[in-house]
């Protein structure tokens, strides 16, 4: 039997090790996005999954995926991707977010810090947090 192919060649112990691995441009974008996300609610937690930071209130609602952290053998985009795990539930009439061929995840790619529109991102993040809160309330209500 052939050994299973690994999807990633890197493995980080913590966020600092992850950040140290990134090229300077991706690190600056990643750190800016982290500040915006963590500044939205003091209850948000950050944890590495798939070697990238995921953010959670009740469940994971978004992630930051720099292009240099490959999934598979080759880079499929440039810059840093901010993804929303339940992006299909976000209102996005302006088409700011991309879906690619994904059913649930929506995302925005950033190639420089200057492309980050903090107020626009916060609006999407607050909506994602509200969706997460409502889902948590529905789950706890359904337990009784």
Q: Is residue 4 part of a domain?
A: no
CATH number of the domain encompassing residue 83: 3.90.1150
Residue 62 has, within 13 A of its CA and on its CB side, a CA count of 29
Question: What is the 8-class DSSP label of residue 82?
Answer: E
Q: Is residue 3 part of a domain?
A: no
Q: Report the distance separating Cα 26 and Cα 33, nearest Å.
A: 11
Q: Is residue 88 part of a domain?
A: yes
Q: Is residue 138 part of a domain?
A: yes
pLDDT per residue as tens digits for the range 88-133? 999 988 999 998 888 899 999 999 999 999 999 999 999 999 999 9
Indicate the SS3 state at residue 144: coil
The model scores a pTM over 0.85: yes
Host domain of residue 137: 15-142
Q: Is residue 26 part of a domain?
A: yes
As for how many domains the chain has, the answer is 1
Q: Is residue 2 part of a domain?
A: no
């Amino acid at each position: 039997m052939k050994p299973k192919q690994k999807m990633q060649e890197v493995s980080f112990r913590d966020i600092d090790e992850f950040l140290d691995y990134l090229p300077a441009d991706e690190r600056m974008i990643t750190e800016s996005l982290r500040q915006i996300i963590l500044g939205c609610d003091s209850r948000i937690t950050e944890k590495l999954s798939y070697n990238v930071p995921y953010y959670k209130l009740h469940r994971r609602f978004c992630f930051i995926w720099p292009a240099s952290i490959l999934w598979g053998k080759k880079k499929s985009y440039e810059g840093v991707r901010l993804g929303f795990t339940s992006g299909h539930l976000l209102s996005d009439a302006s088409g700011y977010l991309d879906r690619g061929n994904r059913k649930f995840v929506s995302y925005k790619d950033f190639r420089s810090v200057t492309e980050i529109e903090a107020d626009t991102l916060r609006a999407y993040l607050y909506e994602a947090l509200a969706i997460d809160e409502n889902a948590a309330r529905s789950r706890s209500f359904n337990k009784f």
